[in-house]
Amino acid sequence: MKKILSITAFTVILSMAGCKKDSEFLDVPPIQVLPNEVAFSDPALVLSILGDLYNRQLDFSSLDNGWRSFADFSESFPSENGSDFIVTRTGWGYGEWATWDYTYIRELNLFIERDSASTALTDADKKRFMAEARFLRANYYFEMVKRMGGVPLITSSMTYDPGKGDVTSIQVPRAKESEVYDFIISESEAIKDLLPKDPNQKSRASKGAALAMEARAALYAASIAKYGNNTPQVSLPGGEVSIPVGKATGYYTTALKAAQEIITGGAGGYELYKALPDLSDNFAALFLDKSSANLESIFIEDFRIGGRTHAFTTNDQPYSISDEGADAGRLNPSLNLAQSFEKLDNTFAPFAITDGSGNPIYYTNQQEIFAGRDARLAGTILLPNGLFKGKRVDIWAGYIVPGGGILTSDEASKLKPLPGTTTDVQVVGKDGPVNGLEFRTQSGFYARKYLDPTVGSGRRGRGSDIAFIRYRYAEVLLNAAEAAFELGQLPVAASYMNQVRARAGLTIPLTAAQITFDRIVHERRVELAFEGHTLFDMKRWRIAHIVWDGSPTTLTDLKTNLGVANARSTQPWGLWPYKIYDPASPNNGKWIFREVLPTRVSGSNRFQFGNYYSFISDAIRAANPKIVRQPNQ
Amino acid sequence: MKVKFQYIVLLAFCAIVISCEKDNYDAPSSKLSGRLVYQGQPIGGLERDQVPFELYQFGFGKVGPIGASFTQEATFSAVLFDGNYKLIIPNGQGPFVWKKTGAGAPDTIPITLAGSQQLDLEVTPYYLIKGPQITGAGGKVSATFGLQKVITGTGAQDIENANLYINKTQFVSESSVDRVAKTTIAGTAITDVSNISLQVTVPTLQPTQNYVFARVGIKIKNVEDRLYSPVVKVTF
């Protein structure tokens, strides 16, 4: 009896407890997924969603994108055996540099739609988030149009209705190349006043960033219109690739106007970075300084120790000063780039290694040969005997012994006796150069731009937190100068260009008559080296197929036509220092230099017409037959 | 236990026997090959792997090309399954003109493949290299040849330059890895297109060999791919 009672009681309790409504019991709010209304109710949550969208921006060269993204186009030599394809190949595949991330576009569109549908956010927050997402969307469309030409312009999220079974409504054809640029320009104009007008707002979009993007985009469109005329093959009848020449003036005017709005302080007080007395150190510090003293950087990709870091310094630090043993020395700027930094009298000259009658010039120290040049040379490139982290890099290729022979070894630790002596001594620099010896320089130079002098920055575990500058004031000035030059406003162009040049120690101003297309091209090459501009600049000027024409770069090619826009540069050369050993001679202990083509360089860059716009893959075109294929592929 | 083991062996054996044959296709065996010709005559030569053609087969879902390139002798080949194919040469490829549709898309050649087939593709080259004579003597290689302009009137293009290339191996072209030396004459410097002479000095070869492979090639203005003569082996 007692048993029955207890069983009954237990059953009653159980059934009462189990008698919850189904909906009450089953509808548990998820704890890993936030519904849209919740996510878009709190500014901090929205910012974290936006943070992910910021992180997914695409850059050509970027510090967390691998050192190799800086290494191509004969501006440097890749000193890593696994990467020598860069200098052994004879050109690029048509698929190179392609991007087609419509997932990213869709998520940006969804963000914009959800942000505007949100009721819980304040109006000011909503507007700013919306403007930032529109900035990122325009920036990605800019990145796409640079690489692919006109792409489908999708500005709202699309939904596929499986019930209908018809995908044609969401198959969008490619827009005209000019329409994509127009979109970027109109978006920038629309959002610029919704973004903060604050030069210290660097890693989030600001008014300055929107205007800088507008100026650059309009300039690209203008030059494609103007110089695309020289390559009629690179065009499509529907205008998906190429812009009619008649639009050039309009775009140049837009570019100049947007750039001038920044220059005249319309976006806050941006100015060139002039913090240090030594102009080379100042130029290098521009890329290292993230404080509010740096009013030059406009929009950056930021990093933080303990959070997101990158391995640029680990990969590219000098071998002898490495924090990480043999992990070093990959990016070696080429002689092609180094010698294009002009002399202080505004003239071009290769480094003087021989005198008029062909005899070698003897220098008392290694840096003498580089003296009297543009301060950006030593700011961008770590020269032989250059200073990094308080130490000198040890770059020399060997001894020249009496009789003219070369005494060297295949590694610095392999010692050899000098002629007439028996003591073993070091006969080659700890940082190279030795042909084919990876992680030491093989061109005679190391990269200095972005190289982090902080203690421990070269360690794999710690990494470096140097920011990558996407837009900076000097480029805005150069954009303005180029637009003004193309519009025939030469004095205006000269004044902008001279500001950039004066900061680099070139104090003799260029006159209006001296501003030429070659000057514009050259100034961008030296000011913006390793900042991801080379390919896109060469493409928009339509000189890529001339500069990278597939023929090997001979020594004569190298040493002539300096400062000429379409001079051939298909192979990275090096400049190797040698020490003289000849106790009987007054030149004992002095230095001579020789131009050397590293033996690994067996290919030469050939840029074909089909490379001007990257291949749209077969899968994309099969999924959407409205996509027309690129020309010359 | 012993019995069970036998079952396992038997089962595995059956599985192996059954899985054979039934779900495997034979490898494709029909060979489609041919040359690029103008009026039935080979056009000469091309740079290897630079002029592509595309074969399409419809009826299997998404359509993508079976892509390949012409050889440096301007021939092509593909091993395929029997069936219906369409062949195109994409726009802007080759030192010749491929027929186009009214809309500007490359015209297709329908191919019905049943067993191996020889198929010559008729194209209209801008120029033809006539009677190339390449000889070697005294450390030099000399060539004489003529040029015949095929496309005249609209679409005609001038010669940008003519070249004599030599290489250590049988691959010879403008590509920097396919030549050890070349001489160039600019199109404007050519006085008689029916009789062009070029001479190139053979550089020091490592390891030494007493022969080189040579051919002449021309660059036509506004056309990216060059037209070459057949490769010849020359002893110097």
- DSSP structure string for A589-615: T-EEEEEE--TT-----B--GGGSSPP
* pTM score of the predicted model: 0.89
Is the ipTM here above 0.85? no
Please answer yes or no on whether A602 and B91 come within 8 Å at the CB atom: no
Partner residue opposite B92 with nearest CB, options A570, A619, A632: A632
Q: Is the pLDDT of residue A1 over 70?
A: no
Name the least confident of A2-11, A68-77, A323-332, A416-425.
Answer: A2-11
Size of interface A-B (CB pairs under 8 A): 44
At B65-124, the pLDDT tens digits run 888 899 999 999 999 888 899 998 888 888 988 888 877 788 888 999 898 889 898 889
How close, in Å, is residue A607 to chain B by CA atoms?
A: 11
| Architecture of the structural domain at B126-235 | Sandwich (2.60)
* B interface residues, A as partner, C-beta within 8 Å: 62-65, 90-93, 104, 174-177, 222, 224
Partner residue opposite B176 with nearest CB, options A551, A608, A610: A551
At A145-202, the pLDDT tens digits run 999 999 999 999 988 888 877 888 889 999 999 999 999 999 999 999 999 999 999 9
At residue A381, the pLDDT reads 93
Distances (CA, A) of A147 to A58, A72, A388, B82: 12, 16, 36, 39
Q: Is the pLDDT of residue A14 over 90?
A: no
Please answer yes or no on whether B93 and A632 come within 8 Å at the CB atom: yes
Chain A residues with CB-CB distance to B90 below 8 A: 629, 633
Please answer yes or no on whether A623 and B63 come within 8 Å at the CB atom: no
Please answer yes or no on whether B62 and A623 come within 8 Å at the CB atom: yes
How close, in Å, is residue A622 to chain B by CA atoms?
A: 6
Q: Label the pairing between strands A574-580 and A468-472.
A: unpaired
How close, in Å, is residue B202 to chain A by CA atoms?
A: 17
Name the least confident of A11-15, A118-122, A557-561.
Answer: A11-15
Q: How many residues does chain B have?
A: 236
At A597-613, the pLDDT tens digits run 999 998 899 999 999 99
Decide whether B30-124 matches B126-235 in CATH topology: yes
Give the whole-angstrom CA distance, residue A257 versus residue A262: 9
Choosing among A236, A546, A624, A633, which should be mutated to test the B contact, i.e. which has the most B CBs within 10 A? A633
Give the whole-angstrom CA distance, residue A457 versus residue B35: 60
Q: Label the pairing between strands B127-137 and B140-149.
A: antiparallel
At A269-326, the pLDDT tens digits run 899 999 899 999 999 999 999 888 899 999 999 998 888 899 999 999 999 988 888 8
Q: Is the pLDDT of residue A110 over 80?
A: yes
Partner residue opposite A622 with nearest CB, options B64, B174, B176: B64
pLDDT band at A254 (very low <50, low <70, confident <90, very high): very high
- 3-state class (DSSP) for residue A99: coil
Does the CA dihedral B67-B68-B69-B75 come out positive or negative? negative
Give me the mean pLDDT over the A234-263 stretch.
93
Give the whole-angstrom CA distance, residue A456 versus residue B158: 61
| Domain limits, chain B | 30-124, 126-235
The β-bridge partners of A596 are A574
How close, in Å, is residue A227 to chain B by CA atoms?
A: 15
How close, in Å, is residue A483 to chain B by CA atoms?
A: 29
Partner residue opposite B177 with nearest CB, options A90, A629, A632: A90
How close, in Å, is residue B92 to chain A by CA atoms?
A: 5
3-state helix, strand, coil in chain A (%, to 5): 40, 10, 50
Chain A residues with CB-CB distance to B224 below 8 A: 233, 608-610, 632
Choosing among A542, A620, A621, A626, which should be mutated to test the B contact, i.e. which has the most B CBs within 10 A? A621
Chain A residues with CB-CB distance to B165 below 8 A: none
How close, in Å, is residue B195 to chain A by CA atoms?
A: 27
At residue A479, the pLDDT reads 95
| Architecture of the structural domain at B30-124 | Sandwich (2.60)
Please answer yes or no on whether B176 and A232 come within 8 Å at the CB atom: no
Chain B residues with CB-CB distance to A623 below 8 A: 62
List the structure tokens of A83. 């990467």
